[in-house]
Structure 1
Amino acid sequence: MTETPMTTERLAEIRSLDLLSVMQFSVAPVVSGALADLIAEIDRLAAQRKFLLGQLAKRDAESGGEAVGRFFGGEQSIAEAESARPAPSESLTVYRASHDSIVMGLYTTREAAREHCEAYVRREIPGAAVDWIEDEDDGVDELAAAFGEDERSTGHTVMALEVAARYDSEADE
């Protein structure tokens, strides 16, 4: 999986997305809500990062400048650590957990999306054995539940979605 750096500009771009113009009317509010949750998590992590870098700077000052170098495995200042960002990538893969086309959540790993679906099914159908059926043709994983020999689809699916880092005008045609 590739990572896209969350720059201030990229976050502003995401916050200003008009999903109704690019998605079906019934899906846009659900995806918009999930996106809002992801943005809130990014904000929380950014605040936590700022706090931790502040703590590191404090320890660095107390230790005579050695804490940052030890933390980052080399001679690096707080300013260098703050400005260090990975190179932009072409896309990011997220995993959508859904039930009968209703989006339950978006996750950065397939395992987390599957865990959400399984937890729901285990609450709704206690004692059922669950198994994932992977369809390599369409890339959708379908959750099935079984009692004895009778196995049926639960309607829960996990699908990998590719999120582009930037607009490609040639791919739009």
Structure 2
Amino acid sequence: MTTHPAVVLDFGDITDQHADAIVNAANSSLLGGGGVDGAIHRRGGPEILAECRALRAGHYGKGLATGQAVATTAGLLDARWVIHTVGPVWSRDEDRSDQLASCYRESLRVADELGARTVAFPAISTGIYGWPMDDGARIAVETVRSAESAVEEVRFVLYDEEAYQAFARRVRSV
């Protein structure tokens, strides 16, 4: 059955989440990095990196494009899958909002293909990629709330108080 997912907020570390799928704010290489990406690879173990390398050796030889999503095992995480998505770098001169919204839509599409019912998302692009937190929260919440998906619950896992409050304002206002 396709509906709109319920939106839940959680404060903490996304690698501690129990969910069918955990979304990774990956870089296009799919081979790990800093922030959420590095934490997921470290905590999830070598199985995630091995599957990412296999993806790079196959269909994603040039890497994963911004706004797209692909799944791997979750390794040692308390989830079945990790859905990797590449967020856009924020630009003062170019509106990349559609690319950021695509990260959420494409991740939900992949979750639907996998049969995932619970999905944990970070605040994509709001860290090292510089997206302003309030705008990132707006795009995330609006996109998920308007998505038609068999996913029953989307949990935004926010690492700090600023992010949590920005998402809480958006959840209350929409």
TM-score by length of 1: 0.21
Bigger radius of gyration, 1 or 2? 1
Comparing both structures, which one devotes a greater share of its residues to strand?
Answer: 1
